[in-house]
Structure 1
Amino acid sequence: MPIHSSQTGNITQVQIEDRLEADTAQEFRDAMAQLADAGKIMLVLDFSKVSFMDSSGLGCIVSALRQFRQKDGDIKLACITDDIRPLIEIVRLNRVFDIYDSVEEAVKSFD
């Protein structure tokens, strides 16, 4: 699972590709831990290239949110695909995360 990150000011944009599931969960957790340890605690997770997410993936993003909020950071979700939107809504994570249609909107929301 490729994970790419870039910076816009103090906001880190993270693009996840392909699948966020049990097989890729540890890679995602490691990437989030590295960002948190580096002090990059304001994140936008770009889901535009995520084709599948299971309960392990959901657990990963909730765990990351908890980790970043403990450091006074936050995570916002952007570009949720039609493939994973129903899953996020069924477990009501749309009430936990701020979700935006674009990465740009999510970055601006930190202001």
Structure 2
Amino acid sequence: MNNSVKVIQIDGILDSTKSQEFRDKITAELESGVKTVLVDFKEVTSMDSSGLGALVLAFKALRAANTRLVICSINEQVRIVFQLTGIDKVIEI
């Protein structure tokens, strides 16, 4: 099996409730030795500071393990949050 790319799909509002689930998925991928994690935001309607924090922690953990984090399919509301916080300049979208 090819462990080079793994897709993680999340949906709804990425908030404190979903942040732990997201962190657990990232941890599982770190342990699997994957080289790139693609986070599909297609079904994410919005996110709060907890979700943003989880994303930053995921980025740092993956980068420390030489694993790439890529985000795809973001909606306009999430794009604005990324632009306002500068995340779009740090994490590949």
| TM-score (ref. length: structure 1) | 0.77
What is the CA-CA distance between 1:85 and the residue it aligns to? 1.1
Tell me how far apart the structure 2 counterparts of residues 87 and 63 of structure 1 sit (CA, whole Å).
17
| TM-score (ref. length: structure 2) | 0.91
What is the root-mean-square deviation in Å for CA atoms of aligned residues? 1.6
My pick for the range that moved more, 66-75 or 7-16, is: 7-16
Which structure is higher in helix share? 2
Please identify runs of 4+ aligned residues in structure 1 that moved more than 4 A: none
Per-residue deviation, residues 16-40 of structure 1 (Å, max 9, x unmatched): 1112101111111111111111112
> Residue 79 of structure 2: which of 72, 76, 85 is its match?
85
Per-residue deviation, residues 25-61 of structure 1 (Å, max 9, x unmatched): 1111111111111112411111111001001101111
Structure 1 residue runs of 5 or longer lacking an equivalent are 1-6, 100-111
Tell me how far apart the structure 1 counterparts of residues 6 and 18 of structure 2 sit (CA, whole Å).
21
Contact between 2:3 and 2:34, CA under 8 Å: does it hold in 1? no
2:16 alignment partner, SS class: coil
Higher relative contact order (CA 8 A, sep 6+): 2
- The one-letter amino acid paired with 1:22 is S
Tell me how far apart the structure 1 counterparts of residues 3 and 34 of structure 2 sit (CA, whole Å).
11
Residue 19 of structure 2 is matched in structure 1 by 25
Structure 2 residue runs of 5 or longer lacking an equivalent are none
Change (3 A) 1:55 1:40: same
Contact between 2:39 and 2:70, CA under 8 Å: does it hold in 1? yes
Residue 95 of structure 1 is matched in structure 2 by 89
Q: Describe how 1:32-47 pairs up with structure 2 within 5 A.
A: 32-47=26-41
Residue 15 of structure 1 is matched in structure 2 by 9
Contact between 1:35 and 1:41, CA under 8 Å: does it hold in 2? no
Tell me how far apart the structure 1 counterparts of residues 50 and 34 of structure 2 sit (CA, whole Å).
23
